[in-house]
Structure 1
Amino acid sequence: MGQLIPQKNVYAVIDLGSNSFHMLIAKSVAGGLQTIGRVKRKVRLAAGLDKDNILSTEAMQRGWECLALFAERLQDIPNQNITIVATATLRLATNAEVFKAQAEKILGHKINVISGELEARTIYKGVAHTSACNGKQLVIDIGGASTEVVIGKEFDALLYKSLNMGCVTYLERYFKDCLLTHSNFNTAIKAARTVIDNIAPEYKAAGWQIASGASGTVQAIQEIMVAQNLDDLLTLEKLNSIKEQSIAFKSIAALDLPGLSEDRRLVFVSGLAILIALFESLEIEKMGLAGGALREGVLYSMVPEFHNSDIRKRTVDGFMSRYHVDQKQASRVSSLAIELAQSINEDWPINHLNGLPLLKAVAQLHEIGLLIEYKQYHKHTAYILENTDMPGFSQSEHRLIVAVADAHRSDIPKDSFNALGANNLLAQYIVRLLRVSVILSMRRQDDVLPHFELTAKNEVLTLTFENNWLKEHPLMASELQQESKQQSKLGWKLIVH
């Protein structure tokens, strides 16, 4: 056996959380980071803290056993590409050094116990690198023993606090009898409100455009809502409805909400109580799920070339290079689509709905499926996009891009956009413009693009060409005629003069 050579472009982050220990392994490829391994174990370290913040031997033992599993995978990764961070429980535990010394021996690596403020800033960085927000963003991460609340803009955290409450500590404190009653919920919500009300005025004064949840609690609630055929934006009304549904089960042991995974069940209700308190105290209207959090924040900090670059561009460029897209054609179609959108901006508010970057992205990526075969390439494109992470795009934007890619040529399935909720109309606008742009660019040459004018009135699109251009280009004329028929099947009107 030859000696193992560490893989220079592979990175590992281990996060010793209060509820779970996670290991994330990623590889730097085609200008992006590709996850090649994730290991997660429920350790519930915070459950081992007593009233004097002494960590029990049993909890430490659970942690050490988990780290022995992680250690095996770290052997192939260069030392400088490994970062291990520990959060709230090891900040609080008076005997944290005992745990740390043995853990470092097992891993052969130093553990950084990070402050609550640094944890909050790093969580924000993980969110900023995996989702795009044009204005200020509120990010919330409910951990096992602490909850981080951050307002940031672009890549910078502007306001950040780590609050002393978490789903494991609140489970021990307010649901110790494992019963689901109004009384237990109300006591937990009230206790969390007392903590949050101290910071609420400052946060409400700062304001934000979009709120994202970066924790397992938010993901679990989203999965429950999807199982109930609701859209995936959290609101206080939906949280209270899930609280009432939970109480109907009477005990945590019996809790069996559709969509709730078994490994989340134990700490779900305490996390839900904290989230309800956050919604009430900060007056949050709606919240989506963030793409990344602490681990991603640490990871992006380790790879210098990713500091503060344009995430959406990095994602799109990565796809184009991986799937050998004809860059000139992609640029031709996307420029034309944007030009069409801007020419009818008065009538179709694509820009107002923040749709231009989505139109540009899907126009640049519409041909990635050609690498597989031509006939069904739009289906292959949609499949690839649906099953690949798209940092820089929120989950709802990602779904819109997939739906438009799938419907950008051939027959348009009738129910294509039903599942997009609030983005349904935007997707219709984008797909209609993309389909026309693809046809107009079919000769794949810049100098043969026609001179035309596009106007929109309500839902009617009118495409007018100069003089005898369509007579001289019968193939283009016939393709546009067919397109007009396709769109009319869905009740859309495309007039070609």
Structure 2
Amino acid sequence: MKVAVIDLGTNTFHLIIAELTPQETRICYKTNLPVRLGEGKINENFIIQEAFERGLLALEKFSLIIKEHQVDLVKATATSAIRSAENGINFVKAAKNYAGIDINVISGDEEAAYIFKGVRATGVIDQTALIMDIGGGSTEFILCNQEELLWKKSYNIGAARLMQAFFHSDPITAEDQQDIIRHLDGELGDLKEVLNLYQPQHLIGSAGAFETFAGILYPELNLKEIKYYPISIPAYKVLSATFIASSHTEREKMPGLIRLRVDMIVMASILTDYILSVGNIEQLSLSTYDLKMGVLADLQPLK
């Protein structure tokens, strides 16, 4: 069975086409488009017209690719930006009319469950671990072990939301950083309780910003060919401090930092630093598998 999975993220729309059999998942095609659906008014829960149109154009391109590949099944999932936007349902209807794509708007809990399935498929979960997926609109946390998901929650503390609320200076000031920390303290109380209870030592970052961290720290890596990779925490902390202390112009010149993440990476770094600290984490890894691969795992025929 040939399937297409579309992940309509806050910053980027992703398309994966795969051939599924009971024995394996074979990726036939992958692409993504920087849509920036959360631009401008994500914290006002509204998709502005320019972003709305970029999203529809991206889906039109995906629709043409899907037809070329003669796909049997299309599964499109929308996350934080669309589920929280007052005009999100208008976007879902427009996508059906304009591109012929049916979008399933999933809850934060469903999003976290798919992320767990994707990360688990890599084999990186070797002990009780905390999975972290930093999106533009939301960030998901999943507490798990090799056998099962123990706890999960989605929080509206994505990089785009934090940027809009707290990124007021270039470089970001210590005061703005402290405002973010206070905000995280207020939002993540139950996560801290769970971390204290289970005391995971391994933080697994799901794709996105963590691919940027690993790609810059280990330029010899081919991220398209690996499922997971260990990241040195001391090396990560040096890189994170560099991102946070740098200006937009300085980050633009950094090799390996894609344009879409030039500013978002500052928020991702502050978030990751916070979790490493409050969780007393001793091990850090990248998982290149995320929600998209979790959806594929869910669709795979049983053996």
Structure-1-length-normalised TM-score: 0.55
1:253 aligns with 2:249: yes
Alpha-carbon distance between aligned partners in 2 of 1:301 and 1:170, rounded to the nearest angstrom: 31
What residue is the counterpart of 1:34 in the other structure?
Answer: 26
Determine which structure has greater relative contact order: mean sequence separation of CA pairs < 8 Å that are 6+ residues apart, divided by chain length: 2
Describe the superposition over 1:455-490 as per-residue Cα deviations: whole angstroms up to 9, x where unpaired.
xxxxxxxxxxxxxxxxxxxxxxxxxxxxxxxxxxxx
Asked if 1:233 is matched to 2:231, the reply is yes
Quote the residue 1:63 is aligned against. 55
The offset of 1:258, in angstroms, is: 4.2
Give the equivalent residue in structure 1 for 2:225.
Answer: none
Aligned to 1:220: 212
Q: TM-score, normalised by structure 2?
A: 0.88
1:142 aligned residue (129, 134, 149): 134
- Tell me the secondary structure at the aligned position of residue 10 of structure 2: coil
Larger Rg: 1
Q: Counterpart of 1:472?
A: none
CA deviation after TM superposition for structure 1 residue 48, in Å? 3.9
2:292 to 287, 292, 295: 295
The question of whether the paired residues in 2 share the 8 Å contact of 1:222 and 1:234 is answered with no
Map of 1:342-381 to 2, 5 A cutoff?
none
- Matching of residue 285 in structure 1 with residue 282 in structure 2: yes
CA contact (8 A) 1:129 1:155 kept: no
Structure having the higher helix fraction is: 1
> Aligned equivalents of 1:134 and 1:271: distance in 2?
24
The one-letter code sitting in structure 2 at the alignment partner of 1:252 is: H
1:117 aligns with 2:104: no
Whole-angstrom distance in 2 between the partners of 1:128 and 1:27: 20
Q: Displacement, 1:132?
A: 4.2
- Report if the CA contact (8 A) 1:227-1:258 is conserved: no
Alignment of 1:95-110 (within 5 A): 95-110=87-102
Q: Which residue of 2 aligns with 1:269?
A: 266
Aligned counterparts, 1:413-432, within 5 A: none
**Cα offset, 1:173, TM superposition:** 1.7
Partner SS state of residue 249, structure 2: coil
Aligned counterparts of 1:48 and 1:34: Cα–Cα separation in 2: 38
The answer to whether the 8 Å contact 2:21/2:300 transfers is no
Report the Cα offset of residue 218 of structure 1: 1.2
Structure 1 residue runs without a partner (length 5+): 1-8, 307-497
Deviations 1:124-152 (A, max 9, x none): 00111122434333211001110000012
Aligned residues of 1:119 and 1:294 also touching (Cα < 8 A): yes
Alpha-carbon distance between aligned partners in 1 of 2:239 and 2:126, rounded to the nearest angstrom: 31
- What is the rounded CA distance, in whole Å, between the counterparts of 1:50 and 1:143 in structure 2? 12
Deviations 1:299-353 (A, max 9, x none): 11111226xxxxxxxxxxxxxxxxxxxxxxxxxxxxxxxxxxxxxxxxxxxxxxx
Structure 2: runs of 5+ lacking an equivalent: 222-228
CA contact (8 A) 1:55 1:95 kept: yes
Distance 2:282 2:257 in 1: 23
Structure 1 residue 233 displacement after superposition: 1.8
Q: Mean alpha-carbon deviation: is it higher for 164-173 or for 44-53? A: 44-53
Q: Which string of whole-angstrom CA distances, capped at 9 and with x for unpartnered residues, describes residues 2-58 of structure 1? A: xxxxxxx21110000011100011123692112111111111112243553222111
Aligned mates of 2:91, 2:60 — CA distance in 1: 13
* Cα distance in 1 for residues equivalent to 2:293 and 2:147: 13
Contact persistence 2:43–2:161 (CA under 8 A): no
Give, in angstroms, the shift of residue 199 of structure 1. Answer: 1.8
Amino acid at match of 1:253: T
CA RMSD, Structure 1 to Structure 2 (Å): 2.5
Query: Quick one: percent identity of the two aligned structures?
Result: 27
SS in 1 for 2:33: strand
The residue aligned with 2:157 is: 165
Find 1:21's aligned residue among 10, 13, 33: 13
The separation in 2 between residues aligned to 1:80 and 1:36, in whole angstroms, is 13
**Number of the residue aligned with 1:83:** 75
Mapped to 2, the partners of 1:209 and 1:247 lie a distance apart of: 25
Where does residue 314 of structure 1 map in the other structure? none
Q: Give the match's secondary structure for 1:46.
A: coil
Q: CA deviation at 1:268?
A: 1.0
Counterpart-to-counterpart distance in 2, 1:85 and 1:262: 24
- The 1:245–1:301 alpha-carbon spacing in structure 2 relative to 1, beyond 3 Å, is same
Letter in 2 for 1:124: F
> Are residues 223 and 71 of structure 1, via their aligned partners in 2, closer, same or farther at CA, if it must alter by over 3 Å?
same
Say how many residue pairs are matched.
Answer: 295
State the alpha-carbon separation in 2 of the partners of residues 286 and 204 from structure 1.
Answer: 16
